[in-house]
Amino acid sequence: MVLDVKYPTIDNLACEEKVVFLRADLNVGLDESGQIRDDSRIRAILPTIQDLQKKRAKLVIASHLGRPAGKPNPKFSLLPVARRLAELLHVEVIKPDDCVGFEIKKLIAELRDKNIILLENLRFHHREEQNHDVFARQLAQYMDVYVTDAFGSLHREHASTVGMVRYFKQRAIGRLVEKEIAVLSRLLTEPQKPFVVVMGGAKISDKIGVIENLLNTASHILIGGGMAYTFLMAQGVDVGASLVEPNKIKLAQKILQRARFKSVPVHLPVDHVIVPDISHGAPQKIVSNNDNWSNQKGVDIGPQTVREFSDVLKQAQTVFWNGPLGVCEIEDFRKGTYAIAGAIAQLNAFTVVGGGDSVSAVRKSGVAENISHLSTGGGASLKFLERSVLPGLKALL
Ligand code: ADP
Ligand code: MG
């Protein structure tokens, strides 16, 4: 249902000399000294900004950053983002101290050339996350057109993503959201085959809807990470003290059954890195499914699994990957995740990675350049693949 909808795009807008409110996701990571660690979220919205500038719009951009808990806090100011945006676009980026109020009107009136206003952090107001109507109206007050390119925030029902939208006749999605929808829809409807899905991460319960939907189009499903242990347990394997969701074992069995019914092979890990406790420097052992795990925890896929998964991946024309294949925050346990990232990056295929931790693992492993599409929405990409209605998209219709 979600996939048949055509959302209005920038091409549909008449915005010459109009004030365009652009909701973006500029929630970049900052280090202790306030420097931007990774500016990819800023770069991701440049096409939208440039296309709106070509249409001679006056641009007012808004975003959240971090979790300032509803009050102003200089640690979460968008000032570093404004500076980077100015460098990237070679224009002046004006950053007021707030995101609402009379000052904004003044700044809009003074806006010249291709200069841009970047509003201060939306979450300096607790009414943003409450989707409070008074705040929604304040945000909409001096604006003529609403555009959202905040793909990573579309699953949230906030004043800037949902509440304010009703106050606009002209509404559209930006280029980034357009691209995300196109790429993710294709995975659900007509991926070029063979289509290999790689799922990992901590829990099955977070990903059940995604797996079920992708079963309709996948040629193979590879499962690793924490969720693999519930599947293995469902097949009677002793997984020691690994992360297991006992109340999801039946569900895992149901998924395996459905996959068999649809003739989609599900590949589970055949060997594992196990440790007595999940910490850096813990003594590691490699075990197979039939070995004695001596009540230890599985923290990564083993070398034989890496080989088997890589072999399946070799034939792929399309790949979707979500969820690290081990506890990759800890250096000792990221070999499997990085090896699979490398295997996917080498393919001559359409490759998509989604999910916050997965995308950051791909970046850290250094192969991001060789992935066709890194989805910018962690939770939102998964919701989309579950075919859930994203409130921020629904609001546009
Ligand atoms: P994404 O953010 O890409 O959707 P998730 O949040 O679902 O991914 O999964 C990431 C988490 O999964 C990481 O915190 C990682 O430590 C955890 N994880 C992966 N493998 C295991 C494992 N074997 N045991 C426990 N946790 C794991
Ligand atoms: Mg995560």
Evaluate the CA torsion angle 11, 178, 372, 30 in order and state its sign.
Answer: positive
Please give the pLDDT value at position 1: 44
Tokens (6 digits) for 18 = 């109009």
Ligand closest in space to the Cα of 361: 1
Q: What is the pLDDT of residues 128-175, one digit of tens each?
A: 999 999 999 999 999 999 999 999 999 999 999 999 999 999 999 999
**Residue of higher predicted confidence among 58 and 376:** 58
Q: What is the percent of the chain where pLDDT is above 90?
A: 93
CA 95, CA 153: separation in Å to the nearest integer?
21
Of the candidate ranges 1-15, 215-229, 351-365, the one whose mean pLDDT is the lowest: 1-15
Amino acid at 163: G
- Output the CA 15–ligand 2 centroid distance in Å: 38
Mean pLDDT of 179-200: 96
Q: How many CA atoms are closer than 13 Å to the CA of 103, on its beta-carbon side?
A: 11
- Can you tell me the distance from the alpha carbon of 305 to that of 268, in angstroms, rounded to the nearest whole number? 8
What is the distance between the alpha carbons of residues 55 and 237, in angstroms, rounded to a whole number? 60
* Res 263: pLDDT: 96
Number of other CB atoms surrounding residue 21 within 10 Å: 26
Atom of ligand 1 nearest to the CA of 326: 20
- Residues above pLDDT 70, as percent of the chain: 99
- To test the pocket of ligand 1, the residue of 207, 230, 243, 332 to mutate (highest count of ligand atoms within 8 Å of its CB) is 243
- pTM as predicted: 0.93
The pLDDT confidence band at residue 210, using thresholds 50, 70 and 90, is: very high
Alpha helix locations (H) across 90-199? 102-110, 126-129, 133-140, 175-189
Ligand 1 centroid – CA 118 distance (Å): 34
pLDDT in tens, 343-378: 999 999 999 999 889 999 999 999 999 999 999 888
Q: Which residue type occupies 224?
A: G
Beta strand residue intervals within 102-175, DSSP E: 116-118, 145-148, 170-173
Helices (H), the chain: 40-44, 46-54, 79-89, 102-110, 126-129, 133-140, 175-189, 208-214, 227-234, 249-261, 303-314, 335-345, 356-365, 378-385, 391-394
Q: What is the mean pLDDT of the chain?
A: 95
Active site residues: 41, 203, 356, 379
Task: Report the nearest-CA residue for atom 24 of ligand 1.
Answer: 226
Q: Predicted confidence band at 116 (pLDDT cuts at 50, 70, 90)?
A: very high
Nearest CA to ligand 1 atom 16: 327
Helix (H, G, I), strand (E, B) or coil at 256: helix
**pLDDT band at residue 2, thresholds of 50, 70 and 90?**
low
Token pair belonging to 300: 């990564």
Q: Over 90: is that where the pLDDT of 71 sits? A: yes
